[in-house]
Chain A
Amino acid sequence: MALLQISEPGQAPDPHQRRVAVGIDLGTTHSLVAAVRHGVAECLPDEQGRVLLPSAVRYLGGGRRQVGFEAMAAMADDAENTVVSAKRFMGRRLADIGGRDRLPYRFVDQPGMVALATRDGDKSPVEVSAEILARLRQRAEDSFDADLFGAVITVPAYFDDAQRQATKDAAQLAGLNVLRLISEPTAAAVAYGLDNASEGLYAVYDLGGGTFDISLLRLTLGVFEVVASGGDAALGGDDIDHVLADWALAQAGAAADTPHAKRAALVAARVTKEALSSADTADWLTEIAGRQLRIAVSRAQLDALARPLVDRTLAAVRKVLRDARVSRDEVRGVVMVGGSTRMPLVRNLVGELFGREVLTNVDPDEVVAIGAAIQANALAGNARDGELLLLDVIALSLGLETMGGLVERVIERNTTIPVAKAQEFTTFKDGQTAMAIHVVQGERDLVSECRSLARFELRGIPPMVAGAARIRVTFQVDADGLLSVSAREQISGVEAAVTVKPSYGLADEQIAQMLKDGFTHADEDMAARSLREARVEAERMVLATRAAMAVDGELLTTEERAAIETLAVATERIAAEADAHAIEAAVAALAEGTEAFAAARMNQGIRQALAGRRVEEI
């Protein structure tokens, strides 16, 4: 402890002042950023006081672009160059995108992920999302007049590995340090759980613009556990807009043939739908090819059009209940998330299915961002009690292709993450020296019906008779739900590994290149930024190390403590200078020097966690 007092306390950074961590809801139709300020989680408004940022990016040419409301305003006039709902294309190939004939974009089919042709060239959904994230980052940095410590970003629980990876890539591209990806329904429960201090089993029904999620969560003593999740990654309020627009066009005897007309019909449908949440009738009003169109729509008519879509969500709810072996009366509350849950039809049908009134007292548009902000605050070490812990599951099973195009599941869905699992395979031909490993995700038994995540080859297996080689394939899913796979032949020791990134997301080099091109920081000196980032990281490490020594210092000998303190002091000294590389090296040295200490602390923590119980038991 004495060592702590030697460092100048007056100069020690105040962690609570510096660690600005935000929660970001990167939504299909709109996005929000929230943070805990003065102990309260709230969404951060833009200069005009608006918290919602439309998830729209318009490419103007010459590298210029508009983001948010400006882009939205131009949506109907410049549909091809204005990307909305980019989230639907994240980590997807062209063939995955349903109903694309109704969308006004020029899709570019390319391996890995689809891109959109704009007047500024081909844009990947990751780049479009990064524009939105960068705008929110700016908003937060302006609000606090400080760099961000990090962000928690939400994704639908149903997002597969490729989609999560794409989201993380977008954040990196936007210059955000991702503290954690969490699922949207979990974030919503965090917002409700802490506000209402309720324990038990909860359902989160999240019908957003483009995705539907249903999750069952168990809340106990500050632990949020996702018991099961399901849904549909391509079903949302936008689909209701589409059916309403199609119906209204048919009623008017009109056709929407141009991108502009399609967009105008959809915008009118959305306005009509929103009006019908409180009114009994509303007009669908638009102008197509110089012709004024007006169709009166009753709420009953909208309900009839939307009913098949809402029924699909209810079937997914029943399936999740079955998967979790839970009956609907065990569910103690139903949290409603997403703007589409403002529709009375949705509230009534969901309430009917669960036999109870649904929860709507937190704004359904803001609830996810608010929950993410609470989690970000806890991860940054700002929460007083620090007892919030999220335990998540993978939403889709992971497996490998075996003989005959069949899937061998390695990790079943709804397994709590992080998780690692190994399975042994063997060769099927005499003298076989290579093995193709095809990683897939999904619930079907046929490879062709699952999502292909990655392919790689294990080469250099010594020739043996069929069935003699022992190839151990290990799947590891980290706490963000991201997968890496490795294979090792046990007898010879040959190895191969893949993080499921290259075939789907952007490769690291691509991101580095984009950052270098000044994609998100056109107006900023990259060297200055990397220096600042290195300093923030150094401060973070030194703070964490000192805090750990203050709590668990007795695990170290005097010499060990002095050695760590020397490294910490050196890191601080180097951080004051202007060499980003040297700072990174010092941080790495500090990390290495504290590894044994970290292991010892972990060990002690585990022993203490069960100490009381162990005694009772024996």
Chain B
Amino acid sequence: MRLDDDDFTLFGLPERHALDRADLDARWRQLQAEVHPDRFAGEGAAAQRIAMQWAVRVNEAYQRLKDPLRRAAYLCERRGAPIQAHDNTAMPKSFLMQQMQWREALEEAAGSAAVERLEAEVVAAERRMLGDVARLLDEQDDAAAAAAEVRALMFVNRFRQDIERRLDALDPALPG
């Protein structure tokens, strides 16, 4: 086992998008139980440093694996189709239309009930698109097509953050 092993190897998982979240969590906890600096509290600076490196590495892999979108991006990259979100913003017209529609709906939404309805719609679309990505990666082995879909999902993800910010703003008693 090495620090620069890929995430799937580190977690002992087959390299594919489909993944059992509970199993991933259990593996993460088992790994942390081995490497966390607290396990070496009395063992001096050298052991602490090594433990820290491993704990950081395990957390890094876990953060990437547990997020379906980041996991997909990672797989695309490993299969020669990096996402390059900054350089590659071309989107199908139908997708852009959908985005505009959603943004208008968010602007016009009057109360938190309306925003929550929109959120449910966006979440459903997101789930559908993630299903497509998983199929493209695991069944059709088409990393390039999957990468295009991941880029679209990144837009959807950003929009969801806007929705959440709006919901926070609608909660009257929120501090800060």
Residues of A with Cβ closer than 8 Å to B?
A: 19, 149-150, 179-180, 220-221, 223, 225, 232, 235, 311-312, 314-316, 318-319, 322, 378-381, 387, 389-391, 415-421, 476, 478-479, 540-541, 543-545, 548, 587, 590-592, 594-595, 598-599, 602-603, 605-610, 613-614, 617-618
**Contact in complex: B46, A316 (CB < 8 Å):** no
Bound-complex Cα distance A543 to B12 (A) = 33
Given A221-B29, A476-B56, are A315 and B174 neighbors across the interface (CB < 8 Å)? yes
**A180-B38, A419-B56, A479-B37 provided; 9 other pairs, C-beta below 8 A?**
A232-B176, A322-B167, A379-B42, A380-B42, A416-B59, A417-B59, A606-B54, A610-B30, A614-B12
B residues 10-39 near A (Cβ < 8 Å) are 11-14, 23, 27, 29-39
- Chain B residues with Cβ under 8 A from A319's Cβ? 168, 171, 174
Chain B interface main SS type: helix
**Contact in complex: A609, B34 (CB < 8 Å):** yes
Bound-complex Cα distance A541 to B42 (A) = 7
- Chain A residues with Cβ under 8 A from B29's Cβ? 220-221, 223, 225, 389, 391
Task: Report if B141 contacts A (CB, 8 A).
Answer: no
CB closest residue in chain B, given A323: B164
Bound-complex Cα distance A478 to B52 (A) = 7
**Contact in complex: B37, A606 (CB < 8 Å):** no
- Chain B residues with Cβ under 8 A from A603's Cβ? 1
Task: Report if B113 contacts A (CB, 8 A).
Answer: no
**Contact in complex: B59, A379 (CB < 8 Å):** no
**Contact in complex: A318, B171 (CB < 8 Å):** yes
Determine how close the nearest CB of chain B comes to the CB of A98; give it in whole angstroms.
11
Task: Report if B6 contacts A (CB, 8 A).
Answer: no
Bound-complex Cα distance A150 to B37 (A) = 15
CB closest residue in chain A, given B52: A418
**Contact in complex: B37, A418 (CB < 8 Å):** yes
Determine how close the nearest CB of chain B comes to the CB of A222; give it in whole angstroms.
8
Determine how close the nearest CB of chain A comes to the CB of B20; give it in whole angstroms.
10
- Chain A residues with Cβ under 8 A from B12's Cβ? 610, 613-614, 617
- Chain B residues with Cβ under 8 A from A613's Cβ? 12, 23, 27, 30
Q: 20 A-B contacts, Cβ less than 8 Å apart?
A: A223-B33, A318-B174, A378-B38, A381-B41, A389-B33, A391-B36, A416-B62, A418-B52, A418-B55, A478-B52, A541-B43, A543-B42, A544-B43, A591-B45, A595-B50, A602-B35, A602-B54, A610-B11, A613-B27, A618-B14
Determine how close the nearest CB of chain B comes to the CB of A525; give it in whole angstroms.
27
Determine how close the nearest CB of chain B comes to the CB of A190; give it in whole angstroms.
12
- Chain A residues with Cβ under 8 A from B33's Cβ? 223, 387, 389, 609
Determine how close the nearest CB of chain B comes to the CB of A515; give it in whole angstroms.
20
CB closest residue in chain B, given A223: B29
CB closest residue in chain A, given B172: A315
Residues of B with Cβ closer than 8 Å to A?
A: 1, 11-14, 23, 27, 29-47, 50-52, 54-56, 59-60, 62-63, 164, 167-168, 171-176
- Chain A residues with Cβ under 8 A from B56's Cβ? 418-420, 476
- Chain B residues with Cβ under 8 A from A592's Cβ? 46
- Chain B residues with Cβ under 8 A from A387's Cβ? 33
- Chain B residues with Cβ under 8 A from A389's Cβ? 29, 32-33, 36, 38-39
Determine how close the nearest CB of chain B comes to the CB of A480; give it in whole angstroms.
9
Determine how close the nearest CB of chain B comes to the CB of A310; give it in whole angstroms.
10
**Contact in complex: A316, B1 (CB < 8 Å):** no
Nearest 9 Cβ contacts at the A-B interface = A605-B34, A315-B173, A595-B46, A379-B41, A610-B12, A614-B12, A598-B47, A544-B43, A609-B30
Bound-complex Cα distance A380 to B51 (A) = 17
- Chain B residues with Cβ under 8 A from A543's Cβ? 42
Bound-complex Cα distance A225 to B26 (A) = 12
- Chain B residues with Cβ under 8 A from A617's Cβ? 12-14
**Contact in complex: A312, B173 (CB < 8 Å):** yes
**Contact in complex: B63, A416 (CB < 8 Å):** yes
Given A180-B38, A591-B44, A614-B12, are A606 and B31 neighbors across the interface (CB < 8 Å)? yes
- Chain B residues with Cβ under 8 A from A381's Cβ? 41-42
Determine how close the nearest CB of chain A comes to the CB of B55; give it in whole angstroms.
5
- Chain A residues with Cβ under 8 A from B13's Cβ? 617
Cβ contact of B175, chosen from A223, A235, A599, cutoff 8 A: A235
**Contact in complex: B167, A415 (CB < 8 Å):** no
CB closest residue in chain A, given B171: A315
**Contact in complex: A598, B46 (CB < 8 Å):** yes
- Chain B residues with Cβ under 8 A from A379's Cβ? 38, 41-42
- Chain A residues with Cβ under 8 A from B164's Cβ? 322
Determine how close the nearest CB of chain A comes to the CB of B52; give it in whole angstroms.
6
- Chain B residues with Cβ under 8 A from A378's Cβ? 38
Determine how close the nearest CB of chain A comes to the CB of B66; give it in whole angstroms.
10
Bound-complex Cα distance A220 to B32 (A) = 13
CB closest residue in chain B, given A218: B25
Residue of A223, A421, A476 with most chain B CB atoms under a 10 A cut-off: A223
CB closest residue in chain B, given A608: B34
- Chain B residues with Cβ under 8 A from A478's Cβ? 37, 52
Determine how close the nearest CB of chain A comes to the CB of B163; give it in whole angstroms.
11
Bound-complex Cα distance A610 to B47 (A) = 21
- Chain A residues with Cβ under 8 A from B14's Cβ? 617-618
- Chain B residues with Cβ under 8 A from A618's Cβ? 14
Determine how close the nearest CB of chain A comes to the CB of B124; give it in whole angstroms.
15
**Contact in complex: B174, A548 (CB < 8 Å):** no
**Contact in complex: B173, A311 (CB < 8 Å):** yes
Bound-complex Cα distance A592 to B45 (A) = 9
Bound-complex Cα distance A221 to B43 (A) = 25
Determine how close the nearest CB of chain B comes to the CB of A94; give it in whole angstroms.
19
- Chain A residues with Cβ under 8 A from B36's Cβ? 389, 391, 479
- Chain A residues with Cβ under 8 A from B47's Cβ? 544, 591, 594-595, 598
**Contact in complex: A606, B1 (CB < 8 Å):** yes
Bound-complex Cα distance A91 to B14 (A) = 46
